[in-house]
């Protein structure tokens, strides 16, 4: 799922995608800031989008192919990605 090209990287982009109804799954780094995790979880819950976790921001960045640690990734709905 993380290798899917239809994704947004970073908490701001994930929150924006959730508000637009474009995200179908959110992946959050377990070591992200607690307040940020609460905001992401609340936004995902409001949109009925599942949240998955990876252990660290560094690992999440590696999994999605970016060179910097990242707190969140949103997998886009295929219809929204086109």
Q: What is the pLDDT of residue 77?
A: 81
| Any domain includes 19 | yes
- Domain count for the chain: 1
Q: What CATH number did the domain enclosing 73 receive?
A: 3.30.1330.30
Q: In whole angstroms, what is the distance from residue 32 CA to residue 57 CA? A: 7
Confidence of residue 79 (pLDDT cuts 50, 70, 90): low
Query: Please, are residues 74 and 25 in contact by the beta-carbon 8 Å criterion?
Result: yes
Dump pLDDT digits (tens) for 44-67: 999 999 999 999 999 999 999 899
Dump pLDDT digits (tens) for 7-35: 999 999 999 999 999 999 999 999 999 99
Q: In whole angstroms, what is the distance from residue 12 CA to residue 18 CA? A: 10
Tell me which residue range forms the domain holding 54.
7-81
| Any domain includes 1 | no
| pLDDT > 50? residue 81 | no
| Any domain includes 11 | yes
| Any domain includes 2 | no
| pLDDT > 60? residue 40 | yes
| Any domain includes 49 | yes
| Any domain includes 55 | yes
Which are the contacts of 65, defined by CB distance < 8 A and separation ≥ 6?
Answer: 3
| Any domain includes 16 | yes
| Any domain includes 38 | yes
């Amino acid at each position: 799922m993380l290798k899917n090209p239809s994704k947004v990287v970073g908490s701001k982009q994930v929150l924006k995608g959730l508000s637009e109804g474009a995200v179908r799954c959110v992946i959050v780094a377990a070591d992200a800031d607690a307040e940020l995790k609460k905001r992401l979880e609340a936004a995902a819950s409001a949109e009925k989008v599942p949240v998955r976790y990876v252990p660290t921001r560094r690992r999440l960045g590696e999994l999605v192919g970016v060179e910097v640690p990242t707190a969140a990734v949103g997998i886009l709905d295929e219809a929204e990605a086109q």
